[in-house]
């Protein structure tokens, strides 16, 4: 990146930055991207893992956002069928609820209408008896019925990685653990950045015709590198999720509910053997680097779920793992509740030329990227008169692994190579058509065909794949965002930490001090996830 100027430098390697880099590179722009941590290491990998039209945005009258999100859901189901898949939702209605049955039924018709009746499937209204048959663990008292509708679920971290790899394949230069420490202004306008390599300690200067700030909850921090007096663009709100054993809840589908505590819409969602419950939506002024689930957050989520699944009797000791992030929402012009803050996005440009994209949501990241690159193209034309390249076909070009929608065929092909049904489904669900590339690692070294954790389908070959093809550089990159063992195991895979660190150290050339640092850093993440447990005694648990 430092060798010669680029057309575009993107600061931020979350889903928005990855989308911008992909779009720009596919338009033929010489593009570079840096992030101070792992790719997708911030808000983008601690979401609700949903690609959805936003049923609750109908209440706010934000029909344009629902229309846009519904269209994007359809696009992502097509370009990443292994990472984005349809998910049936049940939205039960109880007598006296904040959202009455008539309002929900009208909302469901509108939801299908805004999707141009091209939703995954049209909604259905179920009576009380049919609702109980589908979800017998739901509270029956005062139950009137339910809406059965469809949205989509995703692997958020892997969606970022796939998007970034597509950008790299199109020619983008990508560097994680590379923090922007300052912006350079050779002629009074932003013309690049100074970048500190967190792994080597080396400082570099990356020169760029245009710099885009796509750092999510860090957006205002980066803007202050350009203008220390910049007014904040963001209102940060915290979203927390907790995961519990799925058998404790006893649900088969995703369930949307309105919390009896504050009336906000939230979800109980299936994820393998786990159910995750989320999310909170509270104003938060802590650093995005320090955000975590508190005891109050956890108790709120468990109480809300228990109100609808009374036999679950969930308590803090049932929590397998927590995750939390800050939403980079646009600061509203008037005072509204956190859940009422707009999920729209905005592209702004400072007096010195720094382009910033703020707001938005995971589902609409491709549209956000397009809008940002349109602004970049306009700037480049003004700078040197170059013609604007046509928009990139990001809505049609599959992401890596998404070249076929025939997932069952891919599963059969993996089975034919000698792995179990469970392992085949896991590999295809994570890598799509690239499951074959993971199994090629096993062909080269049979030991890589062993599971990392007994009884869990993740293979050692996936560690090799993460390093060689998915830009993983640290232990947490592998265990948290590439393989998800952090989320899947009750001990957050602590028992496997040393073995994985030894393997990575051998491949990446870590000395003893670096290996110890990696293990210590991972254990700190585990402790942050569990920190709520030490606070629970002081929080009312009804």
Percent of the chain with pLDDT over 70: 96
Tell how many helices (H) and how many strands (E) occur in the chain.
17, 18
Burial category of 376 from C-beta neighbours within 10 Å (exposed 0-12, middle 13-18, buried 19 and up):
buried
Q: Which position has the token pair 């209204």?
A: 125
Does domain 85-153+235-331 fall under CATH 3.30.9.10? My reply is yes
Asked whether residue 338 carries a pLDDT value surpassing 80, the answer given is: no
Asked whether residue 11 carries a pLDDT value surpassing 70, the answer given is: yes
Task: pLDDT band for 285, please (50, 70, 90 cuts).
Answer: confident
Task: pLDDT band for 103, please (50, 70, 90 cuts).
Answer: confident
- Mean pLDDT along residues 430-450: 97
Model confidence over 448-469: pLDDT tens digits?
A: 999 999 999 999 999 999 999 9
Asked whether residue 445 carries a pLDDT value surpassing 90, the answer given is: yes
CA distances from 302 to 92, 161, 306, 318 (A): 18, 31, 6, 10
Q: How far is CA 25 from the centre of its chain?
A: 22
Asked whether residue 219 carries a pLDDT value surpassing 90, the answer given is: yes
Asked whether residue 336 carries a pLDDT value surpassing 80, the answer given is: no
Model confidence over 220-258: pLDDT tens digits?
A: 999 999 999 999 999 999 999 999 999 999 999 999 999
Task: Please tell me the predicted confidence (pLDDT) of residue 53.
Answer: 80
Nearest to 298 by CA among 312, 318, 283: 318
Task: Please tell me the predicted confidence (pLDDT) of residue 538.
Answer: 65
Asked whether residue 340 carries a pLDDT value surpassing 60, the answer given is: no
Q: Token pair for residue 387? A: 């013609």
Task: Please tell me the predicted confidence (pLDDT) of residue 206.
Answer: 98
Whether the full predicted model's pTM is greater than 0.85, yes or no, is yes
What distance in Å separates the CA atoms of residue 418 and residue 432, rounded to the nearest whole number?
A: 17
CATH code that applies to domain 407-532: 1.10.8.870
Q: Token pair for residue 123? A: 């909604």
Asked if 311 and 286 touch (Cβ cutoff 8 Å), the reply is no
Q: Token pair for residue 231? A: 């007014």
Q: Which run of H or of E encompasses 143?
A: strand 143-154
CATH code that applies to domain 6-44+157-233+342-384: 3.50.50.60
- Mean pLDDT along residues 165-169: 98
Q: Which position has the token pair 């739901």?
A: 138
- Mean pLDDT along residues 16-25: 98
Q: Token pair for residue 488? A: 């899947």
What SS3 state is found at 320? coil
Report the chain's mean pLDDT, rounded to a whole number: 94
Asked if 190 and 184 touch (Cβ cutoff 8 Å), the reply is yes
Model confidence over 362-418: pLDDT tens digits?
A: 999 999 999 999 999 999 999 999 998 899 999 999 999 999 999 999 999 999 999
- Mean pLDDT along residues 520-537: 93
Q: Which residues pair with 243 in a beta bridge?
A: 276, 321
Asked if 524 and 298 touch (Cβ cutoff 8 Å), the reply is no
Kindly state the DSSP code that residue 481 receives in the 8-state scheme. I
Model confidence over 109-150: pLDDT tens digits?
A: 888 887 766 677 888 999 999 999 999 999 999 999 999 999
Task: Please tell me the predicted confidence (pLDDT) of residue 176.
Answer: 98
Structural domain boundaries in the chain? 6-44+157-233+342-384, 85-153+235-331, 407-532
């Amino acid at each position: 990146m430092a060798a010669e100027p680029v057309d575009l430098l993107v600061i931020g390697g979350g889903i928005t930055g990855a989308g911008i880099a992909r779009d720009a590179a596919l338009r033929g722009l010489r593009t570079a991207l840096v992030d101070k941590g792992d790719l997708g290491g911030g808000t983008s990998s601690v979401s609700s893992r949903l690609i959805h039209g936003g049923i609750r945005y109908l209440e706010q009258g934000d029909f344009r956002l629902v229309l846009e999100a519904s269209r994007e859901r359809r696009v992502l189901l097509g370009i990443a069928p292994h990472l984005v898949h349809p998910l049936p939702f049940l939205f039960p209605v109880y007598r006296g609820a904040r959202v009455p049955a008539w309002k929900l039924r009208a909302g469901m018709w509108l939801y299908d209408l805004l999707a141009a009746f091209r939703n995954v499937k049209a909604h259905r209204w179920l009576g009380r008896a049919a609702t109980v048959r589908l979800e017998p663990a739901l509270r029956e008292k005062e139950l009137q019925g339910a809406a059965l509708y469809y949205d989509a679920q995703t692997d958020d971290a892997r969606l970022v990685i796939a998007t970034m790899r597509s950008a790299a394949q199109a020619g983008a230069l990508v560097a994680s653990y590379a923090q922007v420490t300052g912006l350079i202004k050779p002629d009074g306008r932003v013309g690049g950045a100074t970048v500190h390599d967190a792994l080597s300690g080396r400082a570099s200067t990356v020169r760029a015709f245009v710099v885009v700030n796509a750092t999510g909850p860090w957006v205002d921090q980066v803007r202050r590198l350009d203008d220390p007096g910049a007014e904040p663009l963001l209102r940060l709100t915290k979203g927390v999720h907790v995961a519990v054993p799925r058998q404790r809840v006893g649900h088969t589908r995703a369930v949307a509910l309105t919390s009896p505590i504050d009336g906000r819409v939230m979800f109980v969602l299936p994820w393998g053997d786990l159910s995750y419950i989320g999310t909170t939506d509270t104003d938060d002024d802590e650093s995005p680097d320090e955000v975590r689930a508190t005891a109050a957050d956890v108790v709120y989520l468990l109480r809300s779920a228990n109100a609808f699944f009374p036999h679950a009797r969930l308590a803090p000791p049932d929590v397998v793992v927590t995750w939390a992030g800050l939403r980079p929402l646009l600061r509203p012009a008037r005072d509204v509740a956190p859940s009422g803050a707009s999920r729209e996005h905005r592209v702004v440009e400072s007096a010195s030329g720094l382009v910033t994209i703020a707001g938005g949501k995971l589902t609409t990241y491709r549209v956000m990227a397009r809008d940002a690159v349109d602004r970049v193209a306009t700037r480049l034309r003004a700078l040197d008169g170059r013609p604007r390249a046509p928009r990139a076909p990001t809505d049609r070009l599959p992401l890596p692994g998404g070249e076929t929608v025939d997932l069952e065929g891919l599963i059969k092909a993996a089975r034919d190579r000698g792995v179990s049904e469970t392992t085949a489904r896991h590999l295809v669900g994570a890598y799509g058509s690239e499951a074959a590339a993971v199994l090629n690692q096993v062909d080269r070294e049979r030991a890589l065909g062993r599971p990392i954790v007994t009884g869990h389908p993740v293979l050692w070959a996936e560690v090799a794949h993460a390093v060689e093809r998915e830009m993983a550089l640290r232990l947490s990159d592998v265990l948290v965002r590439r393989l998800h063992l952090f989320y899947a195991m009750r001990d957050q895979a602590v028992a496997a930490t040393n073995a994985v660190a030894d393997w990575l150290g051998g491949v990446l050339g870590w000395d003893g001090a670096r290996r110890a640092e990696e293990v210590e850093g991972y254990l700190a993440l585990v402790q942050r996830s569990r920190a709520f447990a030490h606070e629970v005694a002081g929080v009312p648990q009804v």
